[in-house]
A and B are shown apart, each in its own frame.
Chain A
Amino acid sequence: MLSGFLTLAQEGSLIGNTGLALAGIGIGIGLVVSGGAKGIGNIAGKAVESIARQPEAGGRIGTNMIIAAALIEGFTFFALIIAILLKP
């Protein structure tokens, strides 16, 4: 397993403009994913709270939660696609 790590480390000798560009893309992806995860976490928290408050509406609330989460994930994936397109 150590040799596996070593092979991974040897490929990562990117310095200069290409390395900086890739690092920038990585940071960008991290920011976008953290924004999306915070948004979906908000929805999930409020949905679970409202199900606890009114268990009979649990089915409808759950359905709307899934729909909203999928829409927010759509925006997150936009950023992923642009990051793949920008890779030098």
Chain B
Amino acid sequence: MSSGLTTLAEGENLMSHVLPHRLMQTPLLRIGGYEFYLTNHHLMTIVAAVLVLLVFRHVASRVRTGRGGIEAYTTRGSVANFFETLCVFFREEVARPALGPLTDQYIPYIWTVFFFILFSNLLGIIPFGPILRFVALNNPRFEHWGGTPTGNISITAGLAAVSFFMIHFIGIRHNGWKYFAHFNPGPWYMAPLMVPLEIISSFVKPFALAVRLFANMVAGHLVLAALIGMIFTFRSYSVAAGSIIGATLLSLLELFVAFLQAYIFTFLTVLFIAAGAVHEHEEHETQGHGTLAAEP
């Protein structure tokens, strides 16, 4: 067992914990000259997506049932209540203040983004690879069968691309072709300066979303790998004690960062959608609130 542990840390360099690894040596498909292999990040993406589907199938079966009366609206069961609380928090505190009347139309997309990123981030904290290797009697083939899906720039770029598409799609759908007047938020003579800037910023914002999520996940795992690797460099018990305490605290921080980054991604997507799609309705809403407040 100890020889397995030392080869774990010594034989591979630091970056191998966060890079994607091929699961099989034969490519899945071959297009032209390119070969696409199945990597551990692909596997964990599928696991995260299936987990989201299963959990929310269960939640949906408990939240609004077909029985009549008040029974139809009470949610029973701890898991269903927990996820319903998260969903309602997102709909009422994050989406409705920004999106207003468009909330109910697009909340399924917002929920999907948040829960997929959350489950992906959390699945990366559990060391599935080494557990599988331990269960499979120290077979080193299973070493990398785990990993954080969102720790791969391609997957976060895909999520950001979907957000980019949704931002412009919802803007065009609710504003018509006048949506492109958003690219010039000033007088007409400022257009040659503002339009390229706004176009660049509309590409940079989803790019920043992708890189922020990717960098947070990768950095957490890299620092954890470096801390634990220090034990194998120094080979002393005092270093091991400090290193394990540091690694425990860092894992708690990583847990917090997993939730926070999922929330930030979703919150910024909602903000960008609202900036593009919701604007002129605000005066009507404040007028309504004013008359309601005036009544005793």
| Chain A interface (Cβ < 8 Å from any Cβ of B) | 1, 3-5, 7-8, 66-67, 70-71, 73-74, 77-78, 80-81
Contact = CB atoms under 8 A, between A and B. Distances in A.
Given A4-B234, A4-B235, A77 B264 contact: no
B116 interface: no
A75 B148 CA distance: 21
Contacts of B239: 1, 4
Contacts of B238: 1
Contacts of B218: 81
A81 B211 contact: yes
Contacts of B261: 70
B216 A73 contact: yes
Interface in B200-227: 208, 211-212, 214-216, 218-219
B233 A78 contact: no
A77 B267 contact: no
Contacts of B235: 3-4
B233 A70 contact: no
B25 interface: no
Given A1-B236, A74-B211, 14 more contacts: A3-B235, A4-B236, A4-B239, A67-B264, A67-B267, A70-B212, A70-B264, A74-B216, A77-B211, A77-B212, A77-B215, A80-B219, A81-B211, A81-B218
B244 interface: no
